[in-house]
Amino acid sequence: MRRSRLVLALILALVGLVWIGQGLALIKGGAMSGSSFWAVVGAVLLVLAGVILFRERGLTTRS
């Protein structure tokens, strides 16, 4: 697994979790708090991070 893609997936997952927390008003502060739009965008980032990890894992097992 390429380290750079692992780091990218980790960053996307962390940002996604924060945005979900803000969108669901679990994390207070800022204009994003309580806006369901950011919860959806955060969920998309989590899925994207999962896709990156899945594809990287699949690439390493075939080699």
pLDDT reported for residue 61: 60
3-state secondary structure the chain: CCHHHHHHHHHHHHHHHHHHHHHCCCCCCCCCCCCHHHHHHHHHHHHHHHHHHHHHHHHHHHC
pTM: 0.82
Over the stretch 12-22, which tens digit does the pLDDT of each residue have?
Answer: 999 999 999 99
Domain boundary assignment for the chain: 3-62
